[in-house]
Structure 1
Amino acid sequence: MRNLRKRENPDLQRSLFGEILDWMLAPLLFVWPISIAFTHYFANSVASFPYDQSLREHVAAISRQISFVDGRAQLALPGLAQSFLRSDEIDNVYFHLLDHGGQLIAGDPELPVPRKPEAFLNREHSEVHFRDDEYRGQALRIAYLYLFDASAPADLGVLIEVGETTEKRSQLANKIIASVILPQFVIIPLAVVLVWFGLSQGLRPLTRLRDRIEARREGDLSPIALRRVPEELRPLTEAFNSMLTRMQHNVAAQRRFIADAAHQMRTPLTGLKTQAQLAVRETDPAELRHALRQILMGADRASHLVDQLLSLARAEASGHSQQTLVALDLDHLLREVVETWVVHALDKCIDLGYEPAGTVFIQGNAFLLREMVNNLLDNALRYTPAGGRVTARVVAQGDFALLEIEDSGPGISDEESQKVFDRFYRVEGTDSEGSGLGLAIVREIAEVHQGAASLRPNTRKVREDEPPGCVARIVFPVYRLQPPPAAIAEPVRTGGFA
């Protein structure tokens, strides 16, 4: 009934205790009638065996009293023996003796004979057989034997039958059945109670686990110790610990974002407030316009900082969640992003180039990858002086795809090349403004795509007097896709941008 109610209302709260109890007791209720049927069958077989043996002995006793004279059978059974044969307090015993023609020699004439006696009138079947029949409306168990004259030339003999009503057999079978079934009416309820008690004890670890979770402090996200957890609850506990770990990462990311935002926004907001106060007190139109331009530049820096903080938060959240990555052409995506930076590069008199590489597929998130390339190009253009160059390319090397942004900026030392990926770290001795978040965002997005980010000195120089410059390199695992999906259009290849 519980399962029926659940099918009618799938939102009904389920009880694990009730589910286990149902699945343990339902087979028992199904097997019990089968057990009764088997008990009835075997009880009748056991009860019939001693009485069949008695009938067999009666048939054998009669057969010993038969003699053949001139081919005719004669029964030498005194009346006392016949009365003893028939005497029984409960069941009636009948017998008769028939010759090969079916003529009665002695006994009860109405006692039924085998339906196909001719099938047994041969010497190969000279043994006692049994069958069930009816006589005068009573069920009979009949033992019969074909006895042959050894001196007769033909297979001629007599049929000896002894039948007995089955009252004693039924009584004995009922006693056997009762002796088996009646204790079950005590054993089964006792078994149900023991099963209920056993389940209650067996499910106590679940209760203890629930109590341990409920007793935790509100901010406690530490994993649950597996030392006393049963083997069956270990996978559930490990999954719960994994969820707690992800929650810890998310909470830590939120806290870092709040701390970073509070720390970094304080400076530009303070600057904006100072410029606004100066502008309020200023009466000279030229100085007022200068103050307004400073306010505008401060607002741009604050907006850029907010955008980078949000990008960093999205990248961190993507790293701790199951992001859907699809097959995309990294070279095509790089070309699209580079196109958006051409005007900015021209304004700074920087040669922005793009080297086509052909189709290179990776598993990625297009939004995050565009954000990563934007930060790489912004960083390269910010530190490259006027007249310098920045080159973007994708290189396929075996099972890996390399995304490189090469510039001719001031270069970087090996020690600083490791620190620049930390948050808010800025290389000393440069005049470029920035928040120090761009390369941190790059590293987070690269890790989301199972990639690795690095920054190293540039070894390729176009001119001898060119500054050393840097090469930002992101390594991605290549996605093997044959043939390319129709949804990803093949980009039209052109030369570099300048």
Structure 2
Amino acid sequence: MRSLKSRIVGTLVVLFAAVGAADAGASYWLSMKHIDELLDQHLQGAAVWLSAGKVGTIGTIGPPQHSIDGFVGQIWKRGLSTPTDNTDPDVTFNRDAPGGYSVERINGHRYRLYTLRKDTDDLTYQVGQPIAFREQTAGRAALESLVPTVLLILLVWIAIPLIVNAAFASLKRASADAETVGIGRLTPLDISQVPEEVRPFADSINRMIARLQVGIDAEKRFIADAAHELRTPIAALQLRIDNLENAPDVTARGERLRELREAIVRTATMIRQILELARADAQQDPGAAVDALDVREMVRTLVADLLPIAYARSIDLGVRRFDATHLNADAGELRMAVRNLVENALRYTPAGGCVDIDVFEDATGAVIRVTDTGPGIPEEALGRVFDRFFRLNAETVEGSGLGLSIVKSVVAKHGGSISLENRRDGQSGLVATVVLPSLVMAIVDG
């Protein structure tokens, strides 16, 4: 495909050539017409001049070879068969030609003739001019009038590429700047000299570069935070291994082996959540399969999986409102997000507490709500709990600080929202509410 610049130059050259050709044709025709009218006026003026007795000033011995402008003048007197005066004896006009302008063929040549009759002196004055001479004169003058037009067309043909190249020079500079853009250099393009027509596209490129910069900065922070957070569990693993090697007896070895297993589980959990967060942060693939998900069935399975954990911690885990709810979502990701919400509630709820799950649809969409009887979150910390690796009571409560970050990323990816608020029904605890676009499905029994 040809470049935009080549197409613009080609189009303008062809367009101006067509306009120039039309203008030249019109100029040529108008010049011929005006010169023909001017020569007619000269014919009429010569006849008037002849009637004023200026016979000697019209022609010399005979046109067109012996007369400057090819005029032939004749004077006829009523009753005579030959003219009394004739500037060219070889040419004799028809004295009975109509008054005014007419065309006659004489000696094989066509003449443009003007006839003037004066009844006061019984004389007829005729002035003629060879049409070939008139056409030659008019054609030469018309062609000369085309010289400026032809020169203008040539100049414009030369100017068009120069002007277009100058207009595209700023785009070349922007393109050269774009070639230098990379992961290590995400500098916005200089679009101060870019034409207005291209500015929206250039602005969109700069906005894309800004988004990439934000994303890359976030990834760098995430990697740095993950590396920092992983140092502690890895160091703990190394310490547990050293302790295991130095165990004095079988009982101590068994205790230290149990501690090592717990440390391995915590490290594996953190690594799993880091991978889950990376997956949740990935943009939705337009071609990825999206499931028509039965939320109630998903929660039922999830509760069954987490009941042993709740039982071990003496926490009552169950559901309250449990309506039929369906939506389009990636089943694996949504299950991961809800699981993180419930695990977070179980982690912070003390023994003897309660964690309830509600599933229903309302005007806002499909709602999944998790309510616990834990200590809640201080109001000043509510805005930070979605930050990665942020943990409340890090000294007393295990966790990586990634659970809520994963939930927020998954929910945002599916076009939903999540909110956290402390309970206001007289009990301590937290209410986490996820709202997602719902799908009304007709279920037909087979």
Question: Could you say whether these structures have the same fold, taking a TM-score greater than 0.5 normalized by the shorter chain as the test?
Answer: yes
Within 5 Å, give how 1:208-287 maps onto structure 2.
208-210=173-175, 219-224=184-189, 230-282=195-247, 284=249, 287=252
Within 5 Å, give how 1:36-115 maps onto structure 2.
36-52=24-40, 76=78, 78-79=80-81, 81=83, 84=86, 95=94, 97=96
Aligned to 1:25: 13
Q: Shift in Å at residue 184 of structure 1?
A: 3.7
Match of 2:260 among 285, 295, 319: 295
Corresponding pairs, count:
407
Aligned to 2:379: 414
How far apart in 2 are the matches of 1:191 and 1:287?
96
How far apart in 1 are the matches of 2:261 and 2:157?
80
Within 5 Å, give how 1:124-135 maps onto structure 2.
none
Aligned to 1:352: 318
Within 5 Å, give how 1:147-186 maps onto structure 2.
166-186=131-151
How far apart in 1 are the matches of 2:20 and 2:384?
75
Aligned residue identity for 2:145: V
The answer as to 2:295 corresponding to 1:333 is yes
CA contact 2:17–2:153 (8 Å) conserved in 1: no
How far apart in 2 are the matches of 1:76 and 1:333?
121
Aligned to 1:7: none
Q: Shift in Å at residue 140 of structure 1?
A: 7.0
Aligned residue identity for 1:249: V
Distance 1:45 1:351, change over 3 A: same
Distance 1:218 1:84, change over 3 A: farther
How far apart in 1 are the matches of 2:289 and 2:87?
96
The answer as to 2:430 corresponding to 1:470 is yes
Q: Shift in Å at residue 259 of structure 1?
A: 0.6
Q: Shift in Å at residue 15 of structure 1?
A: 4.6
Aligned residue identity for 1:295: L
Q: Shift in Å at residue 374 of structure 1?
A: 2.1
Aligned residue identity for 2:302: T
How far apart in 2 are the matches of 1:93 and 1:182?
39
User: Which 5+ residue runs of structure 2 have no aligned equivalent?
Assistant: 49-76, 116-125
Distance 1:218 1:253, change over 3 A: closer
How far apart in 1 are the matches of 2:380 and 2:43?
109
How far apart in 2 are the matches of 1:284 and 1:82?
158
Q: In structure 2, the residue corresponding to 1:205 is in which secondary structure?
A: helix
Q: Which moved more, 1:387-396 or 1:210-219?
A: 210-219
Within 5 Å, give how 1:365-404 maps onto structure 2.
366-385=331-350, 387-399=352-364, 401-404=366-369
Q: In structure 1, the residue corresponding to 2:383 is in which secondary structure?
A: helix
CA contact 1:453–1:475 (8 Å) conserved in 2: yes
The answer as to 2:401 corresponding to 1:436 is yes
User: Which 5+ residue runs of structure 1 have no aligned equivalent?
Assistant: 1-9, 61-74, 98-106, 108-125, 145-160, 462-466, 493-498
Aligned to 2:22: 34
How far apart in 2 are the matches of 1:22 and 1:337?
65
Q: Shift in Å at residue 255 of structure 1?
A: 0.5
Distance 1:130 1:277, change over 3 A: farther
Q: TM-score normalized by structure 1? A: 0.65
CA contact 2:28–2:143 (8 Å) conserved in 1: no
CA contact 1:405–1:472 (8 Å) conserved in 2: yes
CA contact 2:280–2:413 (8 Å) conserved in 1: yes
CA contact 1:275–1:294 (8 Å) conserved in 2: yes
CA deviations 1:444-470 (Å, max 9, x no partner) are 333445544322233458xxxxx6332
Distance 1:455 1:446, change over 3 A: same
Q: Shift in Å at residue 170 of structure 1?
A: 1.7
Aligned to 1:192: 157
Aligned to 1:310: 275
How far apart in 1 are the matches of 2:336 and 2:102?
95
CA contact 1:134–1:140 (8 Å) conserved in 2: yes
Q: Shift in Å at residue 376 of structure 1?
A: 0.8
Q: How many percent of aligned residue pairs carry the same amino acid?
A: 28
Q: In structure 2, the residue corresponding to 1:426 is in which secondary structure?
A: coil
Aligned to 1:113: none
Q: In structure 1, the residue corresponding to 2:318 is in which secondary structure?
A: strand
